Structure 1
Amino acid sequence: MLAHLPGLTESRGMATQHPHDHDHGTDQHGGHERGAHQHGDAGQMAAWQETDPAEWFTESFWDDRYRERPIWSGNANQRLVEAAAELTPGRALDVGCGEGGDAIWLASRGWQVTASDVSPVALDRARQAAGSAGVGEAITWEQADGRSDWTPPAGAYDLVTASFLQFPRPELGAFHRKLAGAVAPGGTLLITAHHADSHAGEGTPFTADLFATAQEMADGLALDDTWEVSATDPTREAVFPPGPEGQLMSVRDAVLRAVRRG
Structure 2
Amino acid sequence: MHREHPDSPAPASHDPGEIQLLWDQRYAGLDQLWSGQPNAVLIGETRELKPGRVLDVGCGEGADALWLAEQGWDVTALDVSPVALDRAAREAGARGLTVTWLHSGLVEAALPPASFDLVSAQYPALLRTSDNLAEHALLGAVTPGGVLLVVHHPAPTEEEARAHGFNRDDYVSPADVAALLGDDWRIEVDETRPRRVATGAGAHHTEDVVLRARRLR
Alignment of structure 1 residues 92-111 onto 2, 5 Å: 92-111=54-73
Shift of 1:60: 0.9
Cα shift readout 1:3-48 (whole Å, capped 9, x = no counterpart): xxx9xxxxxxxxxxxxxxxxxxxxxxxxxxxxxxxxx843858xx7
State the one-letter code of the partner of 1:84: T
- Asked if the contact 1:238/1:249 (under 8 Å) is kept, the reply is no
**Residues 1:257 and 2:191 aligned together:** no
State the one-letter code of the partner of 1:257: R
- Asked if the contact 1:198/1:252 (under 8 Å) is kept, the reply is no
* In 2, Cα distance between equivalents of 1:114 and 1:200: 36
* In 1, Cα distance between equivalents of 2:24 and 2:80: 9
Residue 190 of structure 1 corresponds to 149
* In 1, Cα distance between equivalents of 2:27 and 2:39: 19
Residue 175 of structure 2 corresponds to 215
State the one-letter code of the partner of 1:253: D
CA RMSD of superposed structures (Å): 3.3
- Asked if the contact 1:237/1:250 (under 8 Å) is kept, the reply is no
Question: Which of the numbers 33, 38, 47 marks the counterpart of 1:71?
Answer: 33
State the one-letter code of the partner of 1:224: G
Question: What's the TM-score, normalizing by structure 2?
Answer: 0.82
Residue 228 of structure 1 corresponds to 186
Q: Report runs of 4+ in structure 1 exceeding 4 Å deviation.
A: 197-200, 210-213, 237-243
Shift of 1:79: 1.5
* In 2, Cα distance between equivalents of 1:190 and 1:239: 19
Residue 140 of structure 1 corresponds to 100
* In 1, Cα distance between equivalents of 2:65 and 2:87: 12
Count how many residue pairs are aligned between Structure 1 and Structure 2: 212
Identity of aligned residues (%): 37
Shift in alpha-carbon separation, 1:182–1:131, aligned structure 2, 3 A = same
Shift in alpha-carbon separation, 1:147–1:186, aligned structure 2, 3 A = closer
Residue 140 of structure 2 corresponds to 181
* In 2, Cα distance between equivalents of 1:241 and 1:100: 14
* Structure 2 segments unaligned to the other structure (5+ residues): none
* Structure 1 segments unaligned to the other structure (5+ residues): 1-5, 7-39
Q: Which deviates the most, 86-95 or 158-167? A: 158-167
Match of 1:98, SS?
coil
Match of 2:91, SS?
helix
Residue 25 of structure 1 corresponds to none
Cα shift readout 1:158-192 (whole Å, capped 9, x = no counterpart): 10111111234336832121121111111101111
* In 1, Cα distance between equivalents of 2:135 and 2:196: 27
Shift of 1:147: 4.7
